Chains A and B, each alone.
Chain A
Amino acid sequence: MRQSAIAAMTEQLTVTGNASSLHTSGRSARRVVEEARERLAKALGARPSEVVFTSGGTESDNLAIAGTFEARHAADPARNRLVVSAVEHHAILDCVEHLVTHEGAKVTWVEPDPTGLVTADAVRAAIEVDPGSVALVSVMWANNEVGTVQPVADIASVARGFDIPVHTDAVQAAGQVPLDFAASGADLMTVTGHKVGGPLGVGALLVRRDLVVVPQSFGGGQERQIRSGTFDVPGIRAFAVAVEEAVASLTSESPRLVALRDRLVRSSLDLGYDVSVTGVWEAGDGIRRLPGNAHLLVPGCEGDSLLYLLDAAGVECSTGSACQAGVPQPSHVLVAMGIPERAARGALRLTLGHTSTDADVDALLSALPGAIDRARRASRATGLAV
């Protein structure tokens, strides 16, 4: 967490006051929430009234998908179809699957190109199958695994032509690439605290003012009658501070991360181990790929072996795969990009952030060859070599 966010949060933790109460301490708590709302809105190109605070990315995504589907379907029963990219986070995928299974929704998954890019043309084609049936389009701002930044403004422009609202999950993008809610043309946008150096368990859904969203949890109606629950005042305050700082440091931070990432990727490709990089990678580019994202495929390895070996060497990374009971499954993102399941098992997702340094990249690069050698031996030992 950013020091500024920790300071804001800990200071606020010492202050009593329910922001929904009308007494003095309640009013001052309310003021903190509203100031945070204004700062967050300003940092993200939104109006304060468009900010709905939530418990984080998953809740925001669920609220956007289910809440908009219900509202649109109720207003026009013909609108029962969701047009959603196949590379979304599980907070989207599983919510859509739930609506399909339990609410009679239909879904058209929009497949990405081999770099993980979901084109506006592909979205248009999916809509044009039956434009009158579409309740919502959802395409993430940037992919969490391979870092591909999606053409959200183009997609929103296509959808607007059909009068269809667009949601974008910008959890990975906030603080990494420039975000402007209004300019993007999106109707709903998800952001969350811990990805910008803010606290865990707090996030927001930006909701265009005239969009109807049916609440998914019920209670005091604190947030525009869309989202209920006592305000997490310390979390909200720290979240806004973190977003503001992340956005402000973007112009200096982005080139720094791009340079680190490029050295990491270039050196990994040059190891002589047939390592490849997924998605869109061009040295110096921090617009089409998230600056801090390096996602590699290491043939002949299982990601979990690499993860263990690198962890033991002090490098914390992920295999870029979804875990169920801790069991690595080939990533749906890589599968959707057309990467064979076997190759997808050797995925290594390395994320750089505001605390990452040249020394971190050096540590990885010195540990990687030995780790690959060992991991390949382990794959051969278990008879699962590529």
Chain B
Amino acid sequence: MRVVAAMSGGVDSAVAASRMLAAGHEVVGVHLALSQSAATLRESARGCCTIEDAGDARRVADVLGIPFYVWDMAERFQRDVMDDFVAEYAAGRTPNPCLRCNEKIKFSALLDKAVALGFDAVATGHYAQVVERPDGGRELHRAVDPAKDQSYVLGVLDAEQLSRAFFPLGDTVKSQVREEARARGFYVANKPDSHDICFIADGDTRGFLTSRLGEQPGELVDAATGEVVGIHSGAYAYTVGQRRGLGLDRSSLDGSPRYVVDVDASANRVTIGTGDLLGVNAIRGDHARWCGAAPEGVVSVGAQVRAHGEEVPAQAWAAGDGVEVRLGSRLRGVAPGQSVVLYEGTRVVGSATIASSWLERDRGN
């Protein structure tokens, strides 16, 4: 097959590319330029948009002896990921830009361009497994390394996207990937893992949002009393379940921890409350994406609401463009905008963007 190996400049995508080549595919390395101002060399482990990262990817391609190109996707990334990220926060939701990027950039803009140019598939260094069924259909499964499993951020891929995706690292633990990189002489073998959000270089999401949305002072309200207990500088910077950075004067409260329990963007109001208010057992999601056929009727699944979060047993059913999920145990800190990904065993069934969540007390959990 003719395969584009998406190469970020990190160790994972380097080994993924080398494995595709070793498997006998015709491989071309492509680094996505996602930032419109990539003119910086950074020492930070974060991100994947620097000149240094592009150079690292190029060096690996050199070592592998494969062609290498930089494709400029900055315009699409700005529109589909960064603008969307800011708009979602402005609407009081908590987006996951990695899912968005996989859905709209890596397995859409990149994949479509690759297919148009005559390639058959895109390979990335994500930790997830594609399992081919006897009928030729493909399933997405969790990686064998639970600490690195990235099936959650790939839960947005539909059957069509999955049919052209390769994740060569899904059957391997990270330490072995580094070992393999060293054995192949990749300079990036010891490069630190990337963290957080690639386009927020310093990790300061609140600062990033403030620079784009401005200061918008508003009230922090106590859920129990309805009293104003503080002032915030913009409801958009708060996430349901958040405990740190509330700037509360503890003496005015009873001393137990307070969490964000609601973000009302239209009123620019943040409601805080005790932890017991955070537990929910019902989720409604929209923008459902199914890694195969949509489930028929009610199915027993595992539900996960954040990357590396715990999976809890649940019942789920498709409802229009969305999904209804009833959890077997309560989850805390379920924020609108995040994704709920549904699993059947290790298989990803699909995902949806959380629109609302609530507690159904009569369900006995």
- Closest B-chain residue to A375, C-beta based? B117
- Closest B-chain residue to A345, C-beta based? B72
- A377 to chain B: which residues have CB within 8 Å? 116-117
Interface contact B72-A309, CB-CB below 8 Å: no
Contact of A308 among B28, B51, B76 (CB under 8 A): B28
- A324 to chain B: which residues have CB within 8 Å? 38-39, 51
Q: A327 to B71, alpha carbons, bound, how many Å?
A: 7
Contact of B113 among A305, A311, A323 (CB under 8 A): A305
Q: Does residue B177 face the partner (Cβ distance < 8 Å to A)?
A: no
Chain A contacts with B in 284-343, Cβ cutoff 8 A: 304-305, 307-309, 311-312, 323-328
Q: Does residue A381 face the partner (Cβ distance < 8 Å to B)?
A: yes
Q: A325 to B112, alpha carbons, bound, how many Å?
A: 23
Q: Does residue A209 face the partner (Cβ distance < 8 Å to B)?
A: no
Interface contact A305-B58, CB-CB below 8 Å: no
Interface contact A325-B109, CB-CB below 8 Å: no
Given known contacts A327-B33, A381-B112, A308 and B72 CB-to-CB distance under 8 angstroms:
no
- Closest B-chain residue to A376, C-beta based? B116
Interface contact A325-B58, CB-CB below 8 Å: no
Q: Does residue A374 face the partner (Cβ distance < 8 Å to B)?
A: yes
Q: Does residue B31 face the partner (Cβ distance < 8 Å to A)?
A: yes
- A383 to chain B: which residues have CB within 8 Å? 76, 109
Interface contact B38-A325, CB-CB below 8 Å: yes
Interface contact A309-B117, CB-CB below 8 Å: yes
Q: Does residue B201 face the partner (Cβ distance < 8 Å to A)?
A: no
- B73 to chain A: which residues have CB within 8 Å? 382
Interface contact A382-B31, CB-CB below 8 Å: no
The 0/1 profile, CB within 8 Å of A marked 1, for residues 60-84 of chain B is 0000000101111111100000000
Given known contacts A308-B69, A327-B38, A384 and B116 CB-to-CB distance under 8 angstroms:
no
- A91 to chain B: which residues have CB within 8 Å? none
Q: Does residue A98 face the partner (Cβ distance < 8 Å to B)?
A: no
- Closest A-chain residue to B33, C-beta based? A327
Interface contact A326-B33, CB-CB below 8 Å: yes
- B74 to chain A: which residues have CB within 8 Å? 327
- Closest B-chain residue to A377, C-beta based? B116
The 0/1 profile, CB within 8 Å of A marked 1, for residues 293-308 of chain B is 0000000000000000
Given known contacts A325-B33, A383-B76, A308 and B70 CB-to-CB distance under 8 angstroms:
no
Given known contacts A326-B58, A374-B116, A312 and B38 CB-to-CB distance under 8 angstroms:
no
- Closest B-chain residue to A327, C-beta based? B33
Chain B contacts with A in 36-51, Cβ cutoff 8 A: 38-39, 50-51
Q: Does residue A160 face the partner (Cβ distance < 8 Å to B)?
A: no
- Closest B-chain residue to A374, C-beta based? B117
Contact of A325 among B67, B69, B70 (CB under 8 A): B70
- A325 to chain B: which residues have CB within 8 Å? 33, 38-39, 50-51, 54, 70
- A384 to chain B: which residues have CB within 8 Å? 75-76
Q: A242 to B115, alpha carbons, bound, how many Å?
A: 45
Q: A374 to B116, alpha carbons, bound, how many Å?
A: 6
Q: Does residue A367 face the partner (Cβ distance < 8 Å to B)?
A: no
- Closest B-chain residue to A324, C-beta based? B39
- B54 to chain A: which residues have CB within 8 Å? 325-326
A contact set with B: CB distance below 8 Å: 304-305, 307-309, 311-312, 323-328, 374-375, 377-378, 380-384
Not counting A309-B117, A377-B116, A377-B117, a sample of 6 additional A-B residue pairs whose C-beta atoms are within 8 angstroms of each other reads A323-B70, A325-B33, A325-B54, A326-B54, A381-B109, A381-B112
B contact set with A: CB distance below 8 Å: 28, 31, 33, 38-39, 50-51, 54, 58, 67, 69-76, 109, 112-113, 115-118
Cross-chain pairs A/B with CB under 8 angstroms, 17 sampled: A304-B71, A309-B117, A309-B118, A325-B39, A325-B50, A325-B70, A326-B31, A326-B33, A326-B70, A327-B72, A374-B117, A378-B112, A381-B112, A382-B76, A382-B112, A382-B113, A383-B109
